[in-house]
A and B are shown apart, each in its own frame.
Chain A
Amino acid sequence: MAAPMVETADLVVAGGGIVGCAVVHHLAQLLPPQTRIVLLDRGPIAGATSGSCMGHLMVTPDTPQEYAFTATSLALWRELQQQEGGFDYQPTGALYLADAPEDVELLPVLQRQFRDNGDRADILDPAQLRELEPGLAPDLPGALFYPGDGVVLPMAACASMLRHAQRTNPNVQVRPDCAVTGFATDGDRLTGVRTAQGPIATGSVVNTAGVWAPELTAMLRQPPLPIHPRAGNLVVTGHHSTPIKTQLLEVSYLRFAHGAAQVDPTRTTGDPGGHAVNMQPQTHGGCLIGSTRQFRGLDRTLNRDLVLRSLARACRYAPGLRHAPIVRTWVGLRPYSVDKHPLIGPWPPVRGLWIAAGHEGLGISLAPVTGRLIAQQIAGVPTAVDATPYLPARFLR
């Protein structure tokens, strides 16, 4: 009697958000077209964090390393737009807005960071600001305009990456509603994945499950990955209601987001990130308002107080927003990594296990560079950016 047929794959990518899609996209380009790659998600593709976030493509200039990583990724985004498109890419640039005097002082600091990296950013006086964005309040003291940022529709971007991957490699399979239920190992070597739709024999798994990445490695009895859900409340207004056409951020955002502030992810109250607002025009003319931060596990109920604070801040900057209809509010969960850097690379205790997760609020921005970095590591070719700062093994020391 023949043994039952077990599906085999060269690589299984577990987690169909933007990072998983970018990993598949780059694996398909880098590995030969007969490579069998299966992308799994326990829910819809782009149904969790990537389907409930803002889609801001953001260059962060804090350090040369950060700048290079984000700027490289944005270049890859523009490449994808050329290759495939279809994800509402808008090169809007970003306006960092100041309100309080201490925030005005942050503008030249931020400008210098961009300049130190050989890039440009312009400080706008109130008149220049009004000229660029007539919908802003007349009494704003100034802003910094950085032309390099952009906006994408993340769910459509996931689809775009997968379309391109499947054209490059017809052996790429995409399987939504297919949760990983366990792993098979032989000593310290991974030999397979058990899924809701049956087992897959494979020697390589990339954990791209974002907020849920620790759950997956826990199935392999690994120490907990230092990734914690950080909730954000979002609001979107109706079509043709946006008073702005640029991606807007309060410059005070820099004090809270992306690791600037010291926070304790095990505390569920008192996260200081709740105050800075982030506003984004949508291609249909709606305005996305967001960027609250709160640690409270996987809870996705709306925090009405934080939403009110965001709306009040947004109306402070763009008073016309008061009359816009709110269509929807929701909560997304960012995968926050405790040292504020994503985990990208092999997980040495389990041979064949790779991790690409923990991007907090920069998952959309950093997905392409992440996908390329891990694909280059898996393919065993030199990496285009230094992999060292992102190696997950740093947490094993």
Chain B
Amino acid sequence: MNAAADPGAGRVLDADVGVVGAGPAGLAAAGSLARAGLSVVVLDEGQRAGGQIFRQPSPRVAGCGAAPPSHRRGRGLLAAFAQSGARLCSGVTVWDARPGRLWFEQAAESWLVRCERVLLAPGAYDRSIPFPGWTLPGVVTAGALQIMGRAGVVPGKRALVAGSGPLLLPTVAALLGAGVQVVAALEASPRSSAWRALPGLLGHGGRRAEAFWYLRKLLGARVRLRSGWTLFGCEGEDRVQRALIGKVDAEGRPRRDTARSIEVDVVGAGFGLVPSIELGLLLGCRSRCDPRRGGHCLDVDGEQRTSVPTVFAAGEVCGIGGAEVAIAEGELAAAAIVKDLRGVPVPPALAVAAARERRAADRLLGCFPPLPGLCDLATADTIVCRCEDVRLEQTRAAAALHGRSLRAIKVGCRAGMGPCQGRICGPSLQALANGLPGQPADLPVVQVPVKPVRVQTVLDAPRG
């Protein structure tokens, strides 16, 4: 008995287009593709479509507070998607891919999508920067806290939100909506960053309304967003009870003399986002490193085509840019795929719109450049790799003996070899281990499965 003799266990879906991700980019693209008459399968990790930004509240809880204006657009996208005829597979793990083939696991079943074109819209991860106490229960990423806020399941009453970039605001708003007191909201970038961001915010209709909505929310709850401050560490017995906060310099280096302790029982830390490029790398797509867009991102041409001709990419995977960019790029990618498969030319307005949104997003995010000094938050015994319990000093010893590359540090201390495969620690691992703040990480080596799946799923996988 072997798997080759038993190839029928898994199931096959045939479609014109396989889309990975049902966030703004995936939804916009899948809706357009289906309306153009193509058969579309959308594979999404979430239990419900929407992605991180337009996440629909769980049906078990009443909607927690009002939603920002952009969510009207999100609801529109979701409604259009629902009517488009595209097929959605939720709660799935895509674990292997080749051009025209996507293997996934859903509810312990093994599936294969066979398609003419693949569109990657998998979004991004929270960028984690290790600090003392970040592994305590009650300390989560800003993204996770936002999800908990929207679902009304925040594990605490007094929250601290700290990090950098525009995504702190939705996290604070989600907490306020869930009735949680936000004790402090700390933006590590200097105040000048926010001022520089202002023209970009005010000059863009969607963003202006969004920014005003969030600011009203914060003002109404008397939450002040403090610039040039961050979280130095968390303390507590079995879970977080106190946070040490203080000022940072313009590069993000902590000024220890300004440290003070505040009592909190839940902490969200979000230092920006990292594009989720693993599937793209597995498919053989070319990438490039753009620190202002979150690091390594997939390289696409003017119509969202990657270096692999049948694979397209849209949204955060092409560089962090936000929902407006994702929607515009999703629509453009869909049009380019329709051109490929149906010979219909791409409406020039779509490429113009996508480029305009990208420029606007680059300007906005350019106001919050990476802060290399935040590497100084971790101390020698701070855990850097949570999966394998590796501390900063062990990563430094590994780099000193085995070498400075990402591979060397991994083999030297097992950091990044656990279930997350370096998704959490990888982006800052090299800079931390080498003591070189701001050093960009080597491109990770991606192996099958991209995310853990059961042995049986691999055995049952239909042959491509």
Chain A interface (Cβ within 8 Å of chain B)?
41, 43-47, 51, 155, 159, 162-163, 174, 176-177, 237-239, 284, 302, 304-305, 307-309, 311-316, 321-330
Asked if B3 and A308 sit within 8 Å, CB to CB, the answer is yes
Asked if A322 and B401 sit within 8 Å, CB to CB, the answer is no
Residues of chain B contacted by A51 (CB below 8 angstroms):
407, 411
Given contacts A176-B402, A238-B419, A305-B4, contact A47 B411 (CB under 8 A): yes
Given contacts A47-B402, A327-B421, contact A176 B455 (CB under 8 A): no
Q: When chains A and B are docked, how far (Å) is the Cα of A304 from the Cα of B96?
A: 11
Residues of chain A contacted by B405 (CB below 8 angstroms):
43-44, 47, 177
Asked if B447 and A329 sit within 8 Å, CB to CB, the answer is yes
Asked if A159 and B455 sit within 8 Å, CB to CB, the answer is no
Q: When chains A and B are docked, how far (Å) is the Cα of A329 from the Cα of B451?
A: 11
Asked if A328 and B3 sit within 8 Å, CB to CB, the answer is no
- Give, as a whole number of angstroms, the nearest-CB distance from A120 to chain B: 34
Given contacts A284-B388, A328-B417, contact A308 B2 (CB under 8 A): yes
Residues of chain A contacted by B452 (CB below 8 angstroms):
238, 325-327
Asked if B455 and A322 sit within 8 Å, CB to CB, the answer is yes
**Chain A residue, CB-CB nearest to B105:** A325
Judge if B223 is at the interface, Cβ distance under 8 Å. no
Asked if B449 and A329 sit within 8 Å, CB to CB, the answer is yes
Judge if B459 is at the interface, Cβ distance under 8 Å. yes
Asked if B459 and A323 sit within 8 Å, CB to CB, the answer is no
Task: Beyond A321-B455, A322-B459, list 7 extra A-B contacts (CB 8 Å).
Answer: A47-B403, A155-B412, A176-B401, A305-B4, A312-B2, A328-B421, A328-B447
- Give, as a whole number of angstroms, the nearest-CB distance from A195 to chain B: 14
Q: When chains A and B are docked, how far (Å) is the Cα of A322 from the Cα of B453?
A: 10
Asked if B418 and A327 sit within 8 Å, CB to CB, the answer is yes
Q: When chains A and B are docked, how far (Å) is the Cα of A43 from the Cα of B405?
A: 8
Given contacts A45-B401, A176-B408, A308-B459, contact A239 B448 (CB under 8 A): no
Judge if B30 is at the interface, Cβ distance under 8 Å. no
Q: Out of B2, B407, B458, which one reaches A313, CB within 8 Å?
A: B2
Q: When chains A and B are docked, how far (Å) is the Cα of A327 from the Cα of B453?
A: 7
Judge if B404 is at the interface, Cβ distance under 8 Å. yes
Q: When chains A and B are docked, how far (Å) is the Cα of A305 from the Cα of B458?
A: 11
Residues of chain B contacted by A302 (CB below 8 angstroms):
447-448
Asked if A44 and B421 sit within 8 Å, CB to CB, the answer is no
Given contacts A45-B412, A308-B3, A313-B2, contact A237 B455 (CB under 8 A): yes
Judge if B454 is at the interface, Cβ distance under 8 Å. yes
Q: When chains A and B are docked, how far (Å) is the Cα of A45 from the Cα of B403?
A: 7
Q: Out of A159, A309, A330, which one reaches B4, CB within 8 Å?
A: A309
Mark interface residues in B19-49 (1 if CB within 8 Å of A CB, else 0): 0000000000000000000000000000000
**Chain B residue, CB-CB nearest to A284:** B388
**Chain B residue, CB-CB nearest to A322:** B456
**Interface centre among B387, B388, B454, by most A CB within 10 Å?**
B454
Mark interface residues in B407-427 (1 if CB within 8 Å of A CB, else 0): 110011010011101000000
Asked if A315 and B402 sit within 8 Å, CB to CB, the answer is no
Asked if B455 and A46 sit within 8 Å, CB to CB, the answer is no
Residues of chain A contacted by B107 (CB below 8 angstroms):
none
Mark interface residues in B177-197 (1 if CB within 8 Å of A CB, else 0): 000000000000000000000
Judge if B219 is at the interface, Cβ distance under 8 Å. no
Judge if B66 is at the interface, Cβ distance under 8 Å. no
Asked if B459 and A315 sit within 8 Å, CB to CB, the answer is yes
Asked if B403 and A176 sit within 8 Å, CB to CB, the answer is yes
Given contacts A176-B408, A326-B453, A328-B447, contact A312 B402 (CB under 8 A): no
Residues of chain A contacted by B1 (CB below 8 angstroms):
312, 316
Asked if B419 and A327 sit within 8 Å, CB to CB, the answer is yes
Residues of chain A contacted by B421 (CB below 8 angstroms):
327-328
- Give, as a whole number of angstroms, the nearest-CB distance from A277 to chain B: 11
Given contacts A47-B403, A302-B447, contact A326 B408 (CB under 8 A): no
Asked if B411 and A46 sit within 8 Å, CB to CB, the answer is yes
Residues of chain A contacted by B448 (CB below 8 angstroms):
302, 304, 329
Asked if B454 and A44 sit within 8 Å, CB to CB, the answer is no
Q: When chains A and B are docked, how far (Å) is the Cα of A88 from the Cα of B80?
A: 55
- Give, as a whole number of angstroms, the nearest-CB distance from A28 to chain B: 15
Mark interface residues in B369-406 (1 if CB within 8 Å of A CB, else 0): 00000000000000000011000000000100111110
Q: When chains A and B are docked, how far (Å) is the Cα of A331 from the Cα of B419?
A: 18
**Chain B residue, CB-CB nearest to A309:** B2
- Give, as a whole number of angstroms, the nearest-CB distance from A279 to chain B: 12
- Give, as a whole number of angstroms, the nearest-CB distance from B7 to chain A: 10
Asked if A324 and B455 sit within 8 Å, CB to CB, the answer is yes
Residues of chain A contacted by B403 (CB below 8 angstroms):
41, 43-45, 47, 176-177
Q: When chains A and B are docked, how far (Å) is the Cα of A43 from the Cα of B406?
A: 11
Q: When chains A and B are docked, how far (Å) is the Cα of A327 from the Cα of B455?
A: 10
Asked if A311 and B402 sit within 8 Å, CB to CB, the answer is no
Asked if A322 and B411 sit within 8 Å, CB to CB, the answer is no
Asked if B408 and A47 sit within 8 Å, CB to CB, the answer is yes
Q: When chains A and B are docked, how far (Å) is the Cα of A325 from the Cα of B108?
A: 11
Asked if B401 and A162 sit within 8 Å, CB to CB, the answer is yes
Asked if B2 and A45 sit within 8 Å, CB to CB, the answer is no
Asked if B417 and A47 sit within 8 Å, CB to CB, the answer is no
Asked if A47 and B3 sit within 8 Å, CB to CB, the answer is no
Residues of chain A contacted by B417 (CB below 8 angstroms):
328
Q: When chains A and B are docked, how far (Å) is the Cα of A45 from the Cα of B419?
A: 24
Q: Out of B398, B414, B455, which one reaches A326, CB within 8 Å?
A: B455
Could you jot down 23 A-B contacts, CB within 8 Å?
Answer: A43-B403, A44-B407, A45-B411, A47-B403, A47-B407, A159-B402, A176-B401, A176-B408, A177-B405, A239-B419, A305-B4, A308-B3, A308-B458, A309-B2, A312-B1, A312-B2, A312-B459, A322-B454, A325-B453, A326-B449, A326-B455, A329-B447, A330-B447
- Give, as a whole number of angstroms, the nearest-CB distance from A158 to chain B: 8
- Give, as a whole number of angstroms, the nearest-CB distance from A169 to chain B: 16
Asked if B418 and A239 sit within 8 Å, CB to CB, the answer is yes
Asked if A45 and B3 sit within 8 Å, CB to CB, the answer is no
Asked if A326 and B447 sit within 8 Å, CB to CB, the answer is no
Asked if A177 and B404 sit within 8 Å, CB to CB, the answer is yes
Q: When chains A and B are docked, how far (Å) is the Cα of A44 from the Cα of B417?
A: 16
- Give, as a whole number of angstroms, the nearest-CB distance from A234 to chain B: 10
Q: When chains A and B are docked, how far (Å) is the Cα of A149 from the Cα of B27?
A: 55
Residues of chain A contacted by B419 (CB below 8 angstroms):
238-239, 325, 327
**Chain A residue, CB-CB nearest to B387:** A239
Q: When chains A and B are docked, how far (Å) is the Cα of A176 from the Cα of B421?
A: 23
- Give, as a whole number of angstroms, the nearest-CB distance from A201 to chain B: 24
| Those 8 A-B pairs whose CB atoms lie nearest each other, nearest first | A44-B408, A176-B403, A325-B452, A312-B2, A44-B403, A51-B411, A322-B456, A308-B3
- Give, as a whole number of angstroms, the nearest-CB distance from B426 to chain A: 14
- Give, as a whole number of angstroms, the nearest-CB distance from B262 to chain A: 35
Given contacts A44-B411, A308-B3, contact A315 B455 (CB under 8 A): yes
Asked if A323 and B455 sit within 8 Å, CB to CB, the answer is yes
Q: When chains A and B are docked, how far (Å) is the Cα of A174 from the Cα of B398?
A: 12
Asked if B3 and A325 sit within 8 Å, CB to CB, the answer is no
- Give, as a whole number of angstroms, the nearest-CB distance from A87 to chain B: 12
**Chain A residue, CB-CB nearest to B397:** A159
**Chain A residue, CB-CB nearest to B406:** A44
- Give, as a whole number of angstroms, the nearest-CB distance from B245 to chain A: 33
Residues of chain A contacted by B412 (CB below 8 angstroms):
44-46, 155, 159
Residues of chain B contacted by A47 (CB below 8 angstroms):
402-403, 405, 407-408, 411
